[in-house]
Structure 1
Amino acid sequence: MIHSVGGFLPPPMPAHPVPQPEPGPEQPHWNIPSISEDTAREAFALYASSKCCYSSAPAKDGVITNMEAFNTYRYRLETFAETRSTEWSHEPYHGQPVDAFSQPPPGPWDIPAKTPSFFQDDKQVIKVPYTSSVKSCHVCLGMGRKACKECAGAGNKVCWVCNGSGYRHGNDRCGHCNGRGRDNCNHCHGQGSKQCDTCHGKQQLLVYINLTVKWKNNSDSYVVEQLSGLQVDNLSKVSGKELFRDSQFMVYPILGFPDPAVVSAAQRLVNEHQNKYSQTSRILQQRQTIELIPVTKVTYLWKGKSNIYFVYGNEFKVNADNYPATCCCTVM
C-alpha cells in the first residue's frame, strides 16, 4: 500500500541476490594510423573558412613539417534507471468513478508501467487505482465562484475618466460612466465574481494520487590523458572508433585492457553508479563502451614561423588556438 505521498520512493529490495556478471574477455591492443597530410590540410582549410575573422592563407600556403599521432581512449558507462514518485493531484469533478476505500491501493512499485526503450529518457504519469475521492473545492470553498480581484467583488470600479465624480468639466456629466462615477468591471463583467479556475465552477474536485515514473540514462565518461597539448574537454564533442561494447543488467568492470587507466576508470565508475543509483532507483540496464579517439598534432611553417594545430575525432575537428592570421575584421 501507499502509506505516504510525496518525493521519490526507493525500490523494494530484490527478493533474490543480484547475480554478478562474468568478467568480459581480455581485449587486444588497437591503434589507428595517423591521418594523411591531405586529410589534415583539408580539415584545416575547412576550419579556417568557418571563421569569419580568419584568413585562409595559413591553411592554403602553410607547409606541414611534422605529424604526430596521440590516439587516446574514452571509457563511457551508462546506467539506465527508473525512479518513481507520488503526489496528490485533483481535477474538476463531473461524475468520474470514485474508488477510494473500495480496496487497498497497490504499492508504487507494483503498478505496471509501459515498457521503456533502453537508454532513452522518458516519463509516464499514472493515476493510482483506489485513491480517487470527491471533496469540496478548497480554493472557492465549494462555491464554484471566487470574488473578482480587480474590483474586490464590487462588480464596478471608479471611473477612470472622471475619477469617480460623475462630471468632467464643471457641470458636464461624464459620458463614459453616464454620471455614475463608476464603471462595470471588465474582468467579471459587473458580476463581482468569476468562475473558479480550480473546479471550473463544479464546486467539487476529484482528488487522487498520481504516480510519476521517470526513465533516465545516467552517463559518465573518462578520457585517458594524452601528452599532445590538446585539452581533454575538446574531445567531449567528437566520436571515435568503438572498440568494445558490453550491455547487460549489471556490467562487470572491464578486465585485462592494455591501458591500466581505462581499467581503473571502469572499476571506479561501475562502483559509483551501483552505489548511487541503486539506492533511489531501479537499475534496468547498464552499458559500457570503449572508443579510440584519433588525435593528430600537426606542425606547419607559415611565413617562416612554426605553428601547430590538432585534428581529432572521426569528424576531423580542428583546434588551432594560436591561428597566425586573424586580423581581417578588427572592430573600430
Structure 2
Amino acid sequence: MTSVAPKNDLNQMDDKKPVIDFAIIPGYENVRLHESLLPPPPVDYIPPKNQEQQDFMSASVISEDTARQALLEHVGQQCCWGKGAAQKMTIKELKRSPSYHYILETFTEERSTKWHFEPFKGQPVDGPHNGPAPGPWDIPITYREVFKNETLFHEVPHTAYVKDCHGCDAKGYLRCAACHKRSKIRCPACQGSVQEREYQNIKHEITKCPQCSETGEEMCATCGGDGRIQCHYCEGHRQLRWFIRLSIFWANNVSDHFIEKTGLPHELVKAAESIEFQDTQFRVTPVTKFPEEEINEASQRLLSRHQFPQRVIHMQRHMIRMVPVTRCLYEYKEKYLFYYVYGLESKVYSPDYPEQCCWGCSIM
C-alpha cells in the first residue's frame, strides 16, 4: 500500500501513554514510533575517464543602432518619459559585460521507517505469516518525475498485526475531559450562581439566569451529555492495525553561483532570456573549460558538496546561464550616463535616464 503524505498523522502519540511492545520483525528490530533513517546500499560507480564537455560560445557586443532602438522602445513603455534624450544622445562606448549563473541539481532518494497504526475495521492484515518482510531498500518504488520533490508512504509487506488499542484500553471511548464524565458543565453565563447582574436605567438589578434554567449547569457540548468521547486512536473500534511504514523522500538539491560585474540587479538577470549550456548525467563532472574561470571554480566547489552519503543519487544536472549584457555609455547635455541592454530580448535598465518627469510628455 502506497500513499502520499497525509495532512494528519494518527501517530501523534501522547507522551503520558505507556511504552508499547512492538512485534519483532526480522530486519526491523530497532524500528520505533520515530523515523529512523536507513543508509542506502553501496553503489558501484566508476566515473568516466574522458567525459567530453561542450564548447562554449560567447555573445557579441550589440551595434549602436540596436542599443539606441532598445532604449527608445524602453522609454516608450514608461509613463511620462520623454524620448528627446534617447534621440539626441551621443553613444560613446558599448562594452560587453555578460552575467553568469551556474546551477547544480542533484536528485536524491532517502528512506526511513517507523511503526504506524490505523483503526482496525476488518481490513486485510498482511503479517509475518505471509513470509519474511523485504528490506527497506528492496521494495521497488520509483519516483514519478526526476528533479521534483516528492514524498510517498508505503506499508512494508508482511509486517502488520492487530492489537488492542492502547489509548482507551480497548474500550472504544475516553472520559470526556470537559465535564470529567459528569455529563454537565458549569453554566458559562452565570458561572453556576444561577443569577445574572444587569444594569438598566443606571440601576443595578439581579435576575435569574435564563441560559441554565436556574440550575447553574448545562449539558456538556463536547460529549453531548454522554460523559464519554470516541477514542481518537481507534475511532471506537477498540483495536489497531499496526505495521511498519516506509517513508520515501525524493529531493532535488539545488546550489548555484552568480557572477554579475555590472550595476544590473540580480533579479533582472535571473528573469532575462539567456544562452544556456546544460548537461544531465548519472554523475556530472566539474566544468573545466568555461572561459570565465570563476564558473569552473564554482562547479568544482559545489560538486564536492553534493555527496549525500545517507541518500541514493539518481541523477545530476548542471547548467550555465549566460545573459548578454552591454553597458552603454552616452553623452547628453554635457553629462555622461550609463544604461544597460541585457538578455536575448534586448531589455533595458536605465535608472538614471534624464527625462523621467512629466515635462517629458508631449502636450497635444
TM-score by length of 1: 0.81
2:197 paired with 1:132: no
Equivalent position of 2:222 in the other structure:
187
2:57 paired with 1:2: no
Equivalent position of 2:59 in the other structure:
32
The 3 A distance-change label for structure 1 pair 129 and 324 is farther
Q: Is the 8 A contact 2:143 2:250 kept in 1?
A: no
Counterpart of 1:74, as a letter, is H
Q: Is the 8 A contact 1:167 1:173 kept in 2?
A: yes
Q: CA deviation at 1:248?
A: 1.5
The 3 A distance-change label for structure 1 pair 98 and 33 is same
The 3 A distance-change label for structure 1 pair 256 and 67 is closer
Equivalent position of 1:212 in the other structure:
247
| Separation in structure 1 between the aligned mates of residue 234 and residue 303 of structure 2, nearest angstrom | 49
Q: CA deviation at 1:20?
A: 0.9
| Separation in structure 2 between the aligned mates of residue 235 and residue 146 of structure 1, nearest angstrom | 61
Q: CA deviation at 1:324?
A: 5.5
2:283 paired with 1:250: yes
Equivalent position of 2:106 in the other structure:
79
Equivalent position of 1:155 in the other structure:
183
Q: Which moved more, 1:172-181 or 1:204-213?
A: 172-181
Equivalent position of 2:81 in the other structure:
56
2:146 paired with 1:118: yes
| Separation in structure 2 between the aligned mates of residue 222 and residue 47 of structure 1, nearest angstrom | 32
Deviations 1:206-242, CA, capped at 9 Å, x for gaps: 122221212222222233453x343556533434112
SS of the equivalent of 1:118 reads coil
Number of matched pairs: 315
| Separation in structure 1 between the aligned mates of residue 164 and residue 84 of structure 2, nearest angstrom | 77
Q: Is the 8 A contact 1:21 1:251 kept in 2?
A: no
Equivalent position of 2:46 in the other structure:
19
SS of the equivalent of 2:128 reads coil
Equivalent position of 2:328 in the other structure:
298
Q: Which moved more, 1:217-226 or 1:204-213?
A: 217-226
CA RMSD of aligned residues (A): 3.1
2:312 paired with 1:282: yes
| Separation in structure 2 between the aligned mates of residue 262 and residue 156 of structure 1, nearest angstrom | 72
Equivalent position of 2:94 in the other structure:
67
Q: Is the 8 A contact 2:71 2:348 kept in 1?
A: no
| Separation in structure 1 between the aligned mates of residue 61 and residue 167 of structure 2, nearest angstrom | 70
Q: Out of 74, 82, 95, which is 1:44 matched to?
A: 74
Q: Which moved more, 1:297-306 or 1:120-129?
A: 297-306
Q: Is the 8 A contact 2:90 2:332 kept in 1?
A: no
Q: Is the 8 A contact 1:24 1:252 kept in 2?
A: yes
| Separation in structure 2 between the aligned mates of residue 186 and residue 56 of structure 1, nearest angstrom | 67
SS of the equivalent of 2:74 reads helix
Which aligned pairs between 1:135-146 and structure 2 lie closer than 5 A? 135-146=163-174
Counterpart of 2:61, as a letter, is S
The 3 A distance-change label for structure 1 pair 8 and 182 is same
| Separation in structure 1 between the aligned mates of residue 76 and residue 158 of structure 2, nearest angstrom | 63
**Which stretches in structure 1 are left out of the alignment for 5+ residues?**
50-54
| Separation in structure 2 between the aligned mates of residue 47 and residue 67 of structure 1, nearest angstrom | 23
Give the share of equivalent positions with the same residue, in percent.
34
Deviations 1:100-124, CA, capped at 9 Å, x for gaps: 3323322111111134322222222
SS of the equivalent of 2:297 reads helix
Q: Is the 8 A contact 1:24 1:254 kept in 2?
A: no
Q: Is the 8 A contact 2:326 2:340 kept in 1?
A: yes
Q: CA deviation at 1:190?
A: 1.0
The 3 A distance-change label for structure 1 pair 38 and 4 is farther
Q: CA deviation at 1:129?
A: 1.2
**Which stretches in structure 2 are left out of the alignment for 5+ residues?**
1-26, 198-204, 359-364
Q: CA deviation at 1:263?
A: 2.6
| Separation in structure 2 between the aligned mates of residue 305 and residue 245 of structure 1, nearest angstrom | 43
| Separation in structure 1 between the aligned mates of residue 112 and residue 319 of structure 2, nearest angstrom | 31
